Chains A and B, each alone.
Chain A
Amino acid sequence: MNPTVRRVAVLGGIRIPFARQDGPYARASNQDMLITTLDALVDKFDLQGETVGEVAAGAVLKHSRDFNLTRESVLGSKLAPETPAYDVQQACGTGLEATILVANKIALGQIDSGIAGGVDTTSDAPIAINEDLREVLLDVNRAKSNAARLRALARLRPQQIVPEIPRNAEPRTGLSMGEHTAIMAQEWGITRQEQDELAVRSHHNLAAAYDRGYEEDLVIPYLGLERDQNLRPDSSLEKLGKLRPVFGGPEGTMTAGNSTPLSDGASTVLLASEEWAQAHGLPVLAYFTAAQTAAVDYVHKREGLLMAPAYAMPKMLEREGLALQDFDFYEIHEAFAAQVLCTLKAWEDPVYCRERLGLDAPLGSIDREKLNVHGGSLGAGHPFGATGGRIVANLAKLLAEKGSGRGVISICAAGGLGLTAIMEAANNG
């Protein structure tokens, strides 16, 4: 057994522009998008025919036939068919969790290189047949005689035609993620103004990144789309102010403008040991140095559904001996502007930090200028499985450009899940 733990290098990532639901990618499948994005990564790092240690990726909305989505995508890609792969699924944490899994195998020496990724389509969504109909059909299948088959078929009813369409709702509360977030926004007293300001910043920052060519090696055009379809470079408080609330009732503060839209897209990231990177002549952009997951009981203890990152962060910081202020970049997934604001307020609040997080002192506030400097999910859109890869690739490049420092990632996910991770610039020593 090798007791040493190796540093994990992030070599870079790539994604296709994110499209809005039923937009240009309406007829693209998860596999189409993941293969395209894997091939883009292969092209970017010259990996044609190469056997990579492992590919871990996943999608949140998946057809039953896609039980081996990642492996099938690898087989359809330019990677060597001998490249192993497996599916990961952790709601909106899928992409970052895949990165953590690949990183950990590299750290332990089980693999020398790996690709983490994620994909999602809300347009080509799986639709299941009616649950009653499914039971009838299964009984027909089980029947051993024609008479029994007929008896089973006699249970068919017209209303069984209505299909099961996947819903963006928590099974245990019946509330949509937006409704849950509206409760959080109410608990934390988040104003419409704050949310709209965050949304405008997200659009403007991402637009500025495209304009200066920053996204050129991070995003490849796909199906006629060159930039994220959701991006509104001319977004303004005035425009967002006209939108009607969609969650939280008539007094609600959450609109389509400060919530992420349903989107389609895919992303991939290449990670490796330093030796592998050197052998392939690939520069190290950043190191993936720490990660933490957490979960909250939003069912019985009434914690906010998307508050788990607030819990993951202090655990990770304590283990790493860092303060919340020790970062040059904060990449917080903007599922909803309110989620980001609730999380930041939670870290600043002495009561929450003591009573919920068990801390003697609050984590404190962050320099907002360092938050999502190249935009976030509000601007780019949020294909569930693809967001983690987008963020990791962007942060790696940010750290490489700066040449020093560290960045932190925070992602909330359905089911009361939360993930955080730390990346450090390559030449930090």
Chain B
Amino acid sequence: MSESPASTPILQAEGLSKAFRVSDGERLARRRSITVLDDISLAVRRSETFGVVGESGCGKSTLARCLLALLEPSAGRVMFDGVDLARIEREGLRALRRRMQLVFQDAFASLDPRMSAGAIVEEPLLVHQVGDREQRAQAALEMLASVGLTAEQAARRPHAFSGGQRQRIAIARAFVLRPELVILDEPTSALDVSIQAQVLNLLRGLQRELGLTYVFVSHDLTVAEYFCDRVAVLYLGQVMELADRTALFHDPLHPYSVTLLSSVPVPRAGGRARRAARRRPIGEVGSVAERPPGCPFEPRCPVGRGRAVCQGERPALSSAKEGHLVACHFPGELER
């Protein structure tokens, strides 16, 4: 059966792996390879918000960069709108870049301090030679207006803005080319909750208005649950579980997802009793440099720790329920 273009995932990773060569301590000659992403397959549907969550070192940011062809995969492939990114020439990639953009956590570091907000937002239009000078300036002002910044503010440089306003400028710059897909890498992690609320509202509004697809990378599970339609949980560079928001947050099947979700403190009354009733996480967050041979979560897993199959055999990501994928030998055994 051939798929209609509308059902083709806008973005797809197939068996994506990424290894980095690192020097071992002081002995530069002794280099070894560390696999940061290990055989990741996922498909992002058009107009959805696809979440990628996990703890530090799980490979979230590396995945974001591979998906945008900012990093070259060591194995596997990434396809944008059905086209393998590795097979596209430089010029083609440039054209594709117009259609996919990235917003970083640290807006300030990504904004040129010598340029005005207006010039920053206008720059991508210039790079991609969109319109004439007047049209570009006009488009930049309109984009800034839609993120809530005035024409007067457009003349100011980044240092004159607050953290939340800088993130708005970064968003305006990413959106001015009218991309189809935007990867948001921890876009609100550095912001206070009140500012975070404004930025999340803004991103939602823009998505609705422009029909965008988002890949939302976050370590904040509460924000991910609020903001995403589907979510992939990463641990040590592997997808542990991938499901709809409701299924993942209400009925998680992987012991790692359960552990992660029950570690999130909830801002409601009765918190002390709630925390006392919870199981405490076992051990330290692992490292991709010392990935266990079997399931990466085995050494910390309340279900599989010490079990031969979990120690010896890496579980494949497979369908447990309709649209609910999990990589575990004993899915659903650990209850929330």
Do A and B come together as binding partners? no
Which residues of A are at the interface with B, using a C-beta cutoff of 8 A? Answer: none
B residues near A (Cβ < 8 Å) are none
